Amino acid sequence: MAHIGSRTRKVAFVISSHGFGHASRASAIIEAMRDRDPALVVELFTHVPRWYFSQGIGNFNYHKTDCDLGLVQTDSLNTDIGATILELNKRLPLDPKKIKSLATQFQALKCQLVISDIAPLGLAAAKVAGIPSVLVENFTWDWIYAGLAERAPSLRYYSELLAPLYTHADLRIQTTPVCVPDSHAQTTRPVARRQRQDRATTRGKLGLQRDRKLVFITMGGTAQDFSFHERLCSDFRGIDFVVAGIGTNAETHANVTFLPARSTLYHPDLIHAADIVIGKVGYSTIAEVFEAGVPFGYFVREHYPEMAPLVTFLRAQVPGFDFKATEYVGGQWLDRLPQLLAMERFDRRNVGDGASECANLISAMF
User: Does domain 199-341 correspond to CATH entry 1.10.274.10?
Assistant: no
pLDDT of the residue at 4: 38
Residue boundaries of the structural domains of the chain:
10-189+354-363, 199-341
Pair 88, 158: CB distance under 8 Å: yes
pLDDT of the residue at 365: 87
Q: How far apart are CA 39 and CA 27, in angstroms?
A: 16
Instruction: Please tell me what DSSP assigns to residue 164.
Output: G
Sheet-wide strand order for 61-64: 61-64, 41-46, 10-15, 113-117, 133-137, 171-175, 186-188
Q: How far apart are CA 248 and CA 260, in angstroms?
A: 5
Residue 127, C-beta contacts closer than 8 angstroms, at least 6 positions apart:
133, 168
Pair 31, 62: CB distance under 8 Å: no
Q: How far apart are CA 5 and CA 205, in angstroms?
A: 43
Instruction: Please tell me what DSSP assigns to residue 346.
Output: P
Q: How far apart are CA 356 and CA 346, in angstroms?
A: 21
Count CB atoms within 10 A of the CB of residue 96.
10
**Second-level CATH architecture of 10-189+354-363:** 3-Layer(aba) Sandwich (3.40)
DSSP string spanning 60-119? -EEEE--------EEETTEE-HHHHHHHHHHH-SPPHHHHHHHHHHHHHTT-SEEEEEB-
pLDDT of the residue at 221: 55
CA 223, 225, 230, 232 dihedral sign is negative
Is 188 buried (19+), middle (13-18) or exposed (0-12) by CB count in 10 A?
A: buried
Strand pairing category for 251-253 and 256-259: antiparallel
Q: Which residue ranges of the chain lie beneath pLDDT 70?
A: 1-6, 220-226
pLDDT of the residue at 352: 76
Pair 7, 110: CB distance under 8 Å: no
Q: How far apart are CA 40 and CA 35, in angstroms?
A: 10
Count CB atoms within 10 A of the CB of residue 58.
12
CA distances from 283 to 127, 205, 240, 267, 329 (A): 27, 27, 25, 14, 22
Give phi and psi for 271, each to the nearest 5: -65, -45
pLDDT of the residue at 354: 96
CA distances from 334 to 195, 234, 282, 297, 298 (A): 27, 12, 20, 10, 12
pLDDT of the residue at 6: 52
In this structure, the chain runs to a length of 366
CA angle at residue 53 from 48 to 59, to 5 degrees?
A: 130
pLDDT of the residue at 157: 97
Whether 10-189+354-363 and 199-341 share one fold: the answer is yes
CA distances from 157 to 79, 89, 154, 312 (A): 19, 10, 6, 29
pLDDT of the residue at 225: 63
